[in-house]
Amino acid sequence: MDRELERQLIKKAQENVAAFEELYNHYLPKIYGFLLNRAGQKELAEDLTSEVFAKALANLGKYDDRGVSFAAWLFKIARNTLIDYTRKKKEILTDAVEAYEPAQIETGKKAVSSLEDDERKVFIRKTINNLPEKYQTVLSLKFFEELSNDEIAEIVGCGKGAVAVRVHRALRLMRKHLIGNPEFLEINF
C-alpha cells in the first residue's frame, strides 16, 4: 500500500471507525500469516489476529506517523500480543505442523516431490520454533513476511545492524541443526 494512501486512510479511520475496514482488509493476511508462522496453530492465530486488530482499532487515535510505518506498528502489536499470550499460558509454541496444509494427492514424481517439500517446510518451521524468540521473530519477519531490516528494527525495537546480526546468528544456528539432518541440507539459506 502506498504510504500516502495509508496516511489518508489512517486519518479517516481516526475520525470514523468505518474507514478502518480498508486498512484491516489490506493488513489482515499479513498479520494472520505472521501469527500463523509463529504460533503454528490456525485457531490460535485467528484469535490472536482478532486481538491485534481490536487493540489497533482501540489505539488508533494514539497512532502517530513519526517515521514508524503503520505496518510496523501492527506487527509490533502482533508480536507483543503473541508474547503476552505465551507468558499467560506459559506455553512454548513449537509445533507448527498445522501451519502447512497436506499436499494434495497427485500421481507420479510430482507427488513425491510435493510431499518432500511439505516435510522440509515442517522441519524448517520446527527448527525455527526451537530457536530463541528474538531469532524466531526476525526470521519470520524477514523471510516469511519479507520485511526490510529497517521495518524489522522498528517492530522489535533495535537497530538495523542488530537485526542483521540476529538474522545471521539465527541462520548459523539453523545450519548447525540442519547438519545433523543431512536429508534437509539441500535447502539454501
CATH fold, domain 103-189, is: Arc Repressor Mutant, subunit A (1.10.10)
Q: What is the DSSP letter of 67?
A: S
Where b means 16+ CB within 10 Å and e means fewer, 72-106 reads bbbbbbbbebbeebeeeeeeebeebebbeeebeee
Q: What is the pLDDT of residue 90?
A: 61
Contact indicator for 129, 98 with CB cutoff of 8 Å: no
Per-residue pLDDT at 10 exceeds 60: yes
Q: What's the average model confidence in pLDDT over 81-96?
A: 70
CATH fold, domain 1-94, is: Rna Polymerase Sigma Factor; Chain: A (1.10.1740)
Give ∠ CA 89-93-97 in degrees, rounded to 5.
140
Cα distance from N-terminal residue to C-terminal residue, the chain: 28
Rounded Cα distance between 86 and 64, Å, is 28
Give Cα separations from 22 to 6, 8, 36, 63 (angstroms): 9, 11, 22, 17
Per-residue pLDDT at 112 exceeds 60: no
pLDDT over 70 percentage in the chain: 79
26-63 tens-digit pLDDT: 999 999 999 988 888 899 999 999 999 999 999 998 88
Q: What is the largest CA-CA distance in the chain?
A: 57
* Domain locations in the chain as residue ranges: 1-94, 103-189
Residue 67: CB atoms within 10 A of its CB come to 8
Amino acid 29 reads P
**Confidence label for 182 from pLDDT (cuts 50, 70 and 90):** low
